[in-house]
Amino acid sequence: MDPRASRGGDFLVLGSGIAGLLSADKLSRLGRVTLVTKKDAAESNTNYAQGGIAAVMSELDTFAAHGRDTLVAGAGLCDESIVRLTVAEAPRRVRELQAMGVRFSQRESIVDLGLEAGHSHRRILHAGDITGREIERALVASVRRNRRVTIVENHLAVDLILDPERACRGAYVMDRRTGRIEPFSAGATVLATGGAGKVYLYTTNPDIATGDGMAMAWRAGAAMANMEFVQFHPTCLYHPQAKSFLLSEALRGEGGQLILKNGARFMPRYHRRRELAPRDIVARAIDSELKRTGDECVFLDMTHLRRKFLKARFPNIYARVLSFDIDMAERPIPVVPAAHFFCGGVRTDAWARTSVARLFAVGETACTGLHGANRLASNSLLEACVFAHRLAEHLASPGAIKSSSAFRPKPWNPGQAVTSDEAVVVSQNWDEIRSLMWNYVGIVRTDKRLARALSRMELLNREIAAYYWDFLPTPDMVELRNIADVATLVIKSALRRKESRGLHYTLDYPRRRQSCRRDTVLRRAPGRR
């Protein structure tokens, strides 16, 4: 279908991961939906999720236990009401996925529940070790069959459209192939653009994870919360030819042990739950051991488990690691931490509403209050399911969108911008930002490093802004602008938190402080470019 046929609609959904696809499917029952995705519909962070989705599905488990595990991982910053409603809705949302065609792994005709770090019970539904891919497959197929949803692929949102009352009325969207930018109008706009792992030099995220929704919401004046809490996955494959390959938490859930190159285990020295400690603790322990020993990596040892079990439980991981000449049944796997998940984002309420009228956010783009200072493993896919459903419930209620005068967005105005002949500016700044964030705003921080990072980012932001307004935007330029905005938000938020809590660990304030038990909220001053 010609995308020009879908320039207007009742709902505009930006992003095609689990949050975007479920939102589009549910909103289609209320009106016409346009779903915009910057690559193809199946390319998303969801597609790379290996572990699974957490839900109480066993008589041996309880909502109270799932909620308690979430609160413990969140280090005192979770919104308890959000935690309660999320874990209580989980079984219904799982059954909904199954009804849409998602095939979770079974054992003896019963759904196979896995165990992951931070969980006190087996409650992780998975599809082997490619859960995200299986969910994405089923949802993409469902949405493509839906005649009330128009999917516009290879289009990138540039900025949100605001009316004179500062309500969101859609977005300006770029055709990646032609560079043409046009307004897509909507009665309600949903940000489901995923995370921002590409802000860091090393990440488990795909190349699309450039924080687009977070940056656009920030520029539109939306409140941003807890951007300092960036989760580093403890185990990313360390190999010169491997690009961002995640080794699932489930490996440790099934008995994997972290060792040094001399074979010694080290996690017992850091936490009573050893390899099943929360992710922030495991990632910091690995970082500490690497700094102490000077080694380039640690190792994940699965060799005490049977090959037959490893190949059956982790077929994708087993094959992928074997492609690098590492047989995980015979050799420990070299691993390092890598940026993985943003617990902060666009601040939302229990119905996915942001502080900007007519603008909603779901999935990793949003900060719902579920994760607090550290996400419990496999709660992210669950969060996307729950809040896509609640978003649709809210918009189905009378008066959810206040009526106002008709609004026709203006065409995109390039001003005096010309085609750039200095694209090296983009690649140079892209590399510098990601290195700066890795070196100064990583797993362990200090005020001195953060101040140094902020000073440099302020210079880079001025250079990027000048370049953006002087030259016609390209997809790379749009993404650079977004990672610069997100990087700045992370640094400023980290500087405000004068304690160590969850994923934010600073040598200057190594203890948790009760006086700091509050969200870090930033909002851009109106009128700033």
pLDDT digits (tens, 9 = 90+) for 220-249: 999 999 999 999 989 999 998 887 788 988
Nearest CA among 273, 506, 293, 473 for reference residue 376: 273
**CA–CA dist 345, 520 (Å, integer):** 11
- With vertex at residue 233, the alpha carbon angle to CA 227 and CA 239, rounded to the nearest 5 degrees, is 130
pLDDT band at 407 (very low <50, low <70, confident <90, very high): confident
Write down the pLDDT at residue 227: 98
Contact 361, 192 (CB under 8 A): yes
Nearest CA among 7, 438, 399, 483 for reference residue 214: 483
Question: Torsions phi, psi of 146, nearest 5?
Answer: -85, 115
Residues 6+ apart with CB under 8 A from 96: 385, 389
Q: Characterize 308-335 residue by residue with b for buried, 16 or more Cβ atoms within 10 angstroms of its Cβ, and e for exposed.
A: eebeebbeebbebbeeeebebbeebbbb
Render 319-348 in DSSP notation, one character per residue. HHHHTTT--TTTSPEEEEEEEEEES-EEE-
pLDDT band at 5 (very low <50, low <70, confident <90, very high): very low
SS3 230: strand
List, for residues 415-456, the tens digit of each pLDDT value.
888 888 778 889 999 999 999 999 899 999 999 999 999 999
The better pLDDT of the pair 7, 408 is held by 408
Residues 6+ apart with CB under 8 A from 2: none
Mean pLDDT across 405-421: 86
184 bridge partner residues: 171
The number of CA neighbours under 13 Å toward the Cβ of 526 is 6
The number of CA neighbours under 13 Å toward the Cβ of 167 is 16
Write down the pLDDT at residue 364: 97
Helix (H) or strand (E) holding 106: strand 106-107
473 burial type by CB count under 10 A (0-12 exposed, 13-18 middle, 19+ buried): buried
Helix (H) or strand (E) holding 298: strand 298-301
**CA–CA dist 214, 220 (Å, integer):** 10
List, for residues 290-316, the tens digit of each pLDDT value.
989 999 999 999 999 999 999 999 998
Lowest mean pLDDT among 42-56, 117-131, 175-189, 421-435: 42-56
Nearest CA among 312, 322, 394, 377 for reference residue 123: 377
**CA–CA dist 160, 170 (Å, integer):** 6
Write down the pLDDT at residue 404: 65
Residue 124 corresponds to which tokens in the numbers above? 């992780």
**CA–CA dist 215, 365 (Å, integer):** 10
List, for residues 454-505, the tens digit of each pLDDT value.
999 999 999 999 999 899 999 999 999 999 999 999 999 999 999 999 999 9
**CA–CA dist 76, 229 (Å, integer):** 13
Write down the pLDDT at residue 128: 78
472 burial type by CB count under 10 A (0-12 exposed, 13-18 middle, 19+ buried): middle
Contact 142, 25 (CB under 8 A): yes
The better pLDDT of the pair 50, 147 is held by 147
| Active site residue ranges | 279
Mean pLDDT across 352-378: 96
DSSP tag of 4: G
Lowest mean pLDDT among 123-127, 213-217, 278-282, 368-372: 278-282
Helix (H) or strand (E) holding 185: strand 181-185
Helix (H) or strand (E) holding 7: none
Question: Torsions phi, psi of 281, nearest 5?
Answer: -70, -40
Nearest CA among 294, 273, 295, 293 for reference residue 282: 273
Residues 6+ apart with CB under 8 A from 408: 185
Contact 172, 185 (CB under 8 A): no
Residue 280 corresponds to which tokens in the numbers above? 């922030």
pLDDT band at 51 (very low <50, low <70, confident <90, very high): low
Mean pLDDT across 270-287: 90
List, for residues 135-163, the tens digit of each pLDDT value.
999 999 999 999 999 999 999 999 999 99
Write down the pTM of the prediction. 0.90
Contact 308, 332 (CB under 8 A): no
Task: Find where tokens 């938490």 sit.
Answer: 249
- With vertex at residue 335, the alpha carbon angle to CA 330 and CA 336, rounded to the nearest 5 degrees, is 170
pLDDT, the chain, mean: 92
SS3 153: coil
User: If phi over 0 gives left and psi between -120 and 50 gives alpha, with beta otherwise, what is residue 223?
Assistant: beta
**CA–CA dist 228, 376 (Å, integer):** 17
Lowest mean pLDDT among 129-138, 355-364, 483-492: 129-138
- Measure Cα distances from 27 to 89, 107, 147 in Å: 19, 35, 12
Q: Show the domains of the chain with their CATH numbers.
A: 3-228+343-396 (3.50.50.60), 234-339 (3.90.700.10), 424-511 (1.20.58.100)
Nearest CA among 27, 56, 74, 161 for reference residue 367: 74
418 bridge partner residues: 471
List, for residues 149-204, the tens digit of each pLDDT value.
999 999 999 999 999 999 999 999 999 999 999 999 999 999 999 999 999 988 98
Helix (H) or strand (E) holding 359: strand 359-361
Q: Report percent pLDDT > 70 for the chain.
A: 95
H helix intervals, 324-423: 379-396
How far from chain centre, in Å, is Cα 103?
23
SS3 229: coil
Which residue type does 331 have?
R
**CA–CA dist 508, 498 (Å, integer):** 8
DSSP tag of 190: E
DSSP tag of 410: P
